Amino acid sequence: MAGVFPRLELGRSIKAFVFASALGVAVVTGSFDNAQAQGPESLADLAEELGDAVVNISTAQRVQSQRSLQLPDVPEGSPFQEFFEEFFNGQEPESESPQRVQSLGSGFVIDGEEGIIVTNNHVIEGADEITVNFNDGSKLSAELLGSDDKTDLAVLKVEPQSPLTDVKFGSSEVLRVGDWVMAIGNPFGLGGTVTAGIVSARNRDINSGPYDNFIQTDAAINRGNSGGPLFNMDGEVVGINTVIFSPSGGSIGIGFAIPAETATSVIAQLREFGETRRGWLGVRIQHVTDEIAESLGMDSAQGALIAGVSDSGPAKEAGILPGDVVLKFDGRDIPEMRDLPRMVATTTIGSTVPLTVLRRGEEVEIEVTLGRLDELAEVEQTEQDQESPSNTEDETVVLGLSLARVDEALRQRFALSDEIEGVVITRVAEGSSAEDKRVRPGDVIVEVAQEPVATTSDVIEMVNRLKADDRRSALLLLSNGAGELRFVAVRIED
Q: What percent of the chain is predicted at pLDDT more than 70?
A: 79
Residue 242 sits in the same domain as residue 186:
yes
Specify if 194 maps to a domain.
Answer: yes
Residue 253 sits in the same domain as residue 297:
no
CATH number of the domain bearing residue 416: 2.30.42.10
Closest CA to 308 of 401, 380, 200, 383: 380
Q: Is the pLDDT of residue 217 over 80?
A: yes
Model confidence at 296, pLDDT cuts 50, 70, 90, reads: confident
Q: Pick the last residue of a domain from 241, 276, 311.
A: 276
The pLDDT of 429-447, averaged and rounded, is 87
CA atoms within 13 A on the CB side of 306: 24
The pLDDT of 389-410, averaged and rounded, is 70
According to DSSP, the residues that pair with 67 across neighbouring strands are 95
Residue 255 sits in the same domain as residue 313:
no
Residue 419 sits in the same domain as residue 369:
no
Q: Pick the last residue of a domain from 276, 293, 309.
A: 276
Model pLDDT, residue 145? 95
Residue 364 sits in the same domain as residue 264:
no
Residue 189 sits in the same domain as residue 219:
yes
Where are any strands of DSSP class E within 22-160?
Answer: 54-68, 94-111, 116-119, 129-133, 139-141, 143-148, 153-157
Considering the candidates 103, 208, 226, 479, report the single residue annotated as catalytic. 226
Residue 116 sits in the same domain as residue 10:
yes
User: How many other CB atoms sit within 10 Å of the CB of residue 467?
Assistant: 14
pTM: 0.65
Q: What is the pLDDT of residues 309-368, one digit of tens each?
A: 888 889 999 999 988 999 999 999 999 888 898 899 888 899 999 999 999 889 999 999
Model pLDDT, residue 454? 86
**Amino acid present at 306:** I
Q: Is the pLDDT of residue 375 over 90?
A: no
Is 287 considered catalytic here? no
The pLDDT of 141-162, averaged and rounded, is 93
Task: Render 343-359 in DSSP notation, one character per residue.
Answer: HHHTSPTT-EEEEEEEE
CA separation for the pair 410, 414 (Å, rounded)? 6
CA separation for the pair 352, 369 (Å, rounded)? 4
Residue 408 sits in the same domain as residue 441:
yes
Residue 155 sits in the same domain as residue 253:
yes
Residue 232 sits in the same domain as residue 158:
yes
The pLDDT of 126-143, averaged and rounded, is 91
Closest CA to 493 of 403, 400, 402, 426: 400
Model confidence at 210, pLDDT cuts 50, 70, 90, reads: confident
Considering the candidates 122, 246, 295, 479, report the single residue annotated as catalytic. 122
Considering the candidates 103, 148, 152, 402, report the single residue annotated as catalytic. 152
Is 226 considered catalytic here? yes
Model confidence at 436, pLDDT cuts 50, 70, 90, reads: confident
Specify if 302 maps to a domain.
Answer: yes
Model pLDDT, residue 382? 31
Specify if 81 maps to a domain.
Answer: no
Round the average pLDDT of the chain to a whole number and report it.
80
Show the domain range for 328.
Answer: 279-373
Q: What is the pLDDT of residues 470-492, one digit of tens each?
A: 888 888 889 888 888 888 888 88
Q: Which has more pLDDT, 386 or 57?
A: 57
CA 36 from chain centre, in angstroms, equals 37
Residue 154 sits in the same domain as residue 222:
yes
CA separation for the pair 215, 338 (Å, rounded)? 16
Q: Is the pLDDT of residue 175 over 50?
A: yes
Number of domain units in the chain: 3
Q: Report the phi/psi class of residue 191: left, alpha or beta, with left for phi > 0 and alpha for psi in -120 to 50.
A: left
The pLDDT of 67-77, averaged and rounded, is 58
Specify if 82 maps to a domain.
Answer: no
Is 152 considered catalytic here? yes
CA atoms within 13 A on the CB side of 322: 23
